[in-house]
Structure 1
Amino acid sequence: MQLPTERELAATIDHAILKPDLTRTDVDAELDIAAQWGVFSVCVRPSDIAYAVRRLDGTGVAVGTVIGFPHGTTSTTAKVAETIRAFEDGATECDMVLNIGALRSGFDDVVADDIRAVVDAAGGRITKVILETSLLDDEQIARGSRLTEAGGADFVKTSTGFAGGGATVPHVRLMRENVGAPVQVKASGGVRSLDTALAMLDAGATRLGTSASATILGELRAIHAGETASGAVDESSY
């Protein structure tokens, strides 16, 4: 694929700030990284939403959060309540973990109803559904993707990053193949280098979840800087 500009790549990134042991100082540092690099959004812990909204005010960086994270096993009622509160606190998007056990059990109605309830609670705001692909086989990933679309969500997403595995190119392709064009794919978990980020986008992802935004965008900046320097040398040789 053609190398994107730094702004184009930054516009695909949800900078993840989700580790349970992060202190306020750690969160501040990550929010500053997001603002410095101009990523699309941060994805923060629910308890950090209101603070992140205040701190990022005026930067152009949106604030998203997670629902039923990281296991997806909270009740639908709890997920709905969490979703409502998240948007009241200022979130603009949410990434919910579907009921993984229900999906593996073949309880498709339970999964779709769970998704639909959160989508309804989001009231038209962007909702992404995390499948946790490392715990699923290909049939389950394909079915989970279709149920995500059936539930009315905007994105299907690979992983939380907390289940011992992350996004893979084959899984992103499989997800892309099993949803219609209006549903987008988010690759998350293990996206820590420019090469990996570009591979996920080439496979069909349109959003990347990563805590390595500075590394990825820094690599791209260095490449573009090298191209500019090479062009300048070539021009001066005429």
Structure 2
Amino acid sequence: MPIKPLTDQVVTVCFAPGEDADWFSASEKAERLLNVTGTTPSRRYHVRHRRFIGWITCFFTYYLLDTARKFGAITKAAGGRKGRLDLNGAAAAAATEARLRWHAWNQYMNSTPATARPARLWEDFLAQHQADPTKITLNEARRRFHAQPRVIAMLASAGVHEFDPYELAAYQAGEHAYAGLHWRIAIVGDLLITAEGKVLKAASDNMADRLVFLNQAIKYLRSLKSSARLCAVTIA
């Protein structure tokens, strides 16, 4: 995957007990630790509603940050108390969507002999450029990557699903790997700031590095108590 512009990145901010846990505080922490200016709340979390009394709690915003509603009921939030955020639901929804997209991609790629053959990853071409920038420029490396039949087909897709050629490593790794990548992203985003003020991020855009980071971030989130506060922000 190509390096995402910093302005497109979603940061999950965790708060320490007793710390102000609002969007302003999350924005301030992200800006200070990442040396950026300006963030906006990202309503990416599904909201959990208690069984039996969910028809009451779905209208109240307690322990939630920057909520979105549908027909008056709260459906998503930028953050809040971990116990009120349906992280498992968000992961399941993202995994289902990713599996559907992968199956559509797999069927599309196997429609012709040329696209059925695996393609070289963007990371391979990027490594060639980095090894000798005077021999292969970045634009030439990208041109060679895009010139492959499978990548051309992905760029030309115009159906229900769009296939990102820079996710080729995940697509070619199989359905489970592709879905696993996306359900983790749905919960974590691109970076995570721990309650202790440590920034967790991938060492590179290589799929393996991304998964190492995402697994570390997921493990950290699971270690937090249900009373812990989270907030997702997008670098604006």
TM-score by length of 2: 0.30
**Structure (1 or 2) with the larger CA radius of gyration:** 2
**TM-score, length basis structure 1:** 0.30
